[in-house]
Amino acid sequence: MNKPIVLVIHGMGTHEPGKLKTDITEGLNEAANNFGLDDFDISEKVEFFQFNYSSFLDEVRQRDADHASSVADHLAKLKGYGLGETIVTKLTEFFAGFDEDEMLYTHWMDVVYYGLMFWGEKIRVDFSHKINDVMVEANRGNRHVHIIAHSLGSAVVHDTLAKLFRKDVDVTSAVPGLDIAKFRIQSLWTVANVSRLLNLLNDIADPNKSIVNATDDGCCENLFNVRNLFDPFTWVKQYNRDEGNYRLLEVDTVRHWNTHDVREYMATPPVSAYFFNYVLGLELSQEQWDSGVARHAETTVKKSVDDLKVAFEDLRDLPDSEDRIKALEQMFTTAKAFMDRMKSITEGADSEQ
């Protein structure tokens, strides 16, 4: 039998080529080991393809940063180069009150570059070539295509597919497209989905109404929306399009302060079990499931879900803003406060063990 194709797209920040595949592989293999699946290696059961736009954004970001000493200064340098004066002024005032943090710096500049500047279109064009080649190859070999998109990658995938997939595509047209009657994505896994926030910035297609869905009129057979109850990046403009073959997989385990980490997501029992089932056709026994849940729980922070909810209750209660600048500020402020608080909780839990 031909191996399924799994196309993976990373999120915000710097990602070395191949790193995302490694993170996903390690997470799924850890889960398989917890389930008691002997001699299991996901890389032997699927063929991975990766789309990396990090190298491009790193180069752009570094070039601009060479002329800036802070986030606020960096933003000011972009005025007139695809970023409007009003937006720059508001964001500069906001960022001026924060200490610099390398992780948040790269994350937020990536959001600005993709969501508010013309660099986003370049990334979408590049990804459209990638997905087109993958879909053609899959059709030729009668293989299924599955996509895992993490964080900002969920917006890249959504925005590109919303433009690329259409009904009754004219193959002679100069405008590229994939006809949903001939090409279907077997499963789309959006992990820590931020597509609604980015739609607020670039207004390409509303994720709640676009062709990127798992109904008969959509481009996917199955859509899995994965989020952690304690991932602050999923709290602003939360995505939940419950129609067709859609399933929300919400996990609540915490093993590390970075609850946004894709490896952590893929290692959780619910996510890995559904992935093994829908991608590999592998169904776990009750005994295997119980083993996986128990062994994963052994490595989690020794705090109850209710205690963690209380610890972050004030940060999670966010209004659904339609103002793009306020939404960006909301996301940044919440993520920074969460990161500081979660580090304190996890470090304290570690010292108690």
Find all residues with CB under 8 Å of 146, minimum gap 6, and list them. 4, 5, 6, 7, 46, 185, 186, 187, 188, 189, 278, 279
Angstrom distance (rounded) from CA 306 to CA 47: 40
Residue 238 vs residues 90, 168, 249, 317, 342: alpha-carbon distances, Å: 24, 32, 13, 12, 21
pLDDT by residue (tens digit) across 62-98? 766 554 455 555 555 555 555 555 655 666 555 555 5
Angle at CA of residue 337, ends 336 and 339, nearest 5°: 65
Quote the mean pLDDT of the chain: 85
Question: So where are the chain's domains?
Answer: 5-352
Of 33-37, 40-44, 172-176, 260-264, minimum mean pLDDT range:
172-176
15, two tokens: 């990602």
List, as own/partner pairs, every contact residues 62-71 make where C-beta atoms lie below 8 angstroms and the sequence separation is at least 24, other chains included.
70/95, 70/96, 70/100, 71/95, 71/98, 71/100, 71/105, 71/108, 71/109
With beta carbons less than 8 A apart as the criterion, state whether 312 and 346 touch.
Answer: no
pLDDT by residue (tens digit) across 308-334? 888 888 877 777 777 777 777 787 778
With beta carbons less than 8 A apart as the criterion, state whether 177 and 164 touch.
Answer: yes
pLDDT at res. 67: 46
Of 12-16, 60-64, 340-344, minimum mean pLDDT range:
60-64
pLDDT at res. 284: 97
Q: What is the pTM of this model?
A: 0.88
pLDDT at res. 173: 65
Angstrom distance (rounded) from CA 154 to CA 189: 9
